[in-house]
Structure 1
């Protein structure tokens, strides 16, 4: 499989609804973050974790702090894309431990310089935190931060996107686990 892709894991959230750092929660004795790393590794050239938390150094991949503090996913995506050395990056939130090659393949199949982002639509919602980004959209993120825009979905509307329906077999793999109830609902704990 052609690479020229960076895997970027966003792990900078406050995890206030979960009550503990989501990226280090265990699933089958492996942290959420390690599950994502294991599934990204075969298809990317490098993995970057965007987090100010030094605990993420334990994963043995490059960790970079947010360039713009307290600005949520807009700043995190910008930071990750800026650090990436490749034309494309798969961005995954650390609270999506069930992502795997079946999730990434359809995104990669639509890799095309025409699109800034390839994302899914699932249950009427797009998935910009499980998506393929083209590095050329970096300027739009930089402008959004300059204009103090914090809503990721607003920034995504400025991009040339390819939004594809999530196949039924991956819908439960692209969910975000945000609360203890989510852990129970998705039979993760």
Structure 2
């Protein structure tokens, strides 16, 4: 398994949150902010956590925050910026809207890493989850070229990489993206 010293945690928190109506990283679940849940899941597995966001509110977490180097290019730009800023060969990349994520689930990505794959990500219900994944830092160069070509769709960009998808059967709830008030209310009532 990859040593903690060679893994950085990258949290993508630069979205506009149009469906939720407010910044998802600062939503609360069980008395803690979404970001706190995600940070706590990453900490046992990584040497550093980087927050990718142009929003200075995220400085409150006391972690290194980096701005998107390419503006208005969505999560693809956040992913590239995070990987470019990382000091390790491997990177656990998470979006800020998965508050139920656990270290145990993230460890599965690390355990499934192989030398051939550029990216190891979960697949759930036939959909891949590129913002709950393990990326090699080397992906940053190709991502920059993809962004420079004008592409902004993350799923389309992934076609340029060797991706290993892991189907997860147990703990599927841990991978829930919370994008709407209805989804937030549903996890609060569980």
TM-score (norm 1): 0.96
> Which structure 1 segments of 5+ residues have no match?
none
Deviation of 1:188 after TM superposition, in Å, equals: 6.0
User: Which residue among 5, 8, 13 is the counterpart of 1:6?
Assistant: 8
Separation in 2, partners of 1:133, 1:175: 20
Q: 1:110 to 1:179 in 2, by over 3 A?
A: same
Deviation of 1:185 after TM superposition, in Å, equals: 2.3
Deviation of 1:167 after TM superposition, in Å, equals: 2.6
Alignment of 1:145-184 (within 5 A): 145-168=147-170, 170-184=171-185
Question: Is the CA contact 1:15–1:178 (under 8 Å) kept in the aligned structure 2?
Answer: yes
Separation in 1, partners of 2:143, 2:13: 18
Question: Cα RMSD between the aligned structures?
Answer: 1.3
Q: 1:188 to 1:12 in 2, by over 3 A?
A: farther
Deviation of 1:64 after TM superposition, in Å, equals: 0.6
Separation in 1, partners of 2:148, 2:169: 36
Counterpart of 2:73?
Answer: 71
Q: Does 1:186 align with 2:176?
A: no
Q: Does 1:34 align with 2:36?
A: yes
Secondary structure, aligned partner of 1:132: strand
Deviation of 1:187 after TM superposition, in Å, equals: 3.0
Secondary structure, aligned partner of 1:156: helix
Separation in 2, partners of 1:82, 1:43: 20
User: Which residue among 118, 123, 126 is the counterpart of 2:125?
Assistant: 123
Number of aligned residues: 188
Separation in 2, partners of 1:28, 1:101: 18
Secondary structure, aligned partner of 2:165: strand
Separation in 2, partners of 1:38, 1:88: 19
Secondary structure, aligned partner of 2:138: helix
Counterpart of 1:84?
Answer: 86
Secondary structure, aligned partner of 1:184: helix
Question: Is the CA contact 2:10–2:49 (under 8 Å) kept in the aligned structure 1?
Answer: yes
Question: After TM superposition, which residue ranges in structure 1, 4 or more long, deviate above 3 angstroms?
Answer: none
TM-score (norm 2): 0.95
Deviates more, 1:124-133 or 1:109-118: 109-118
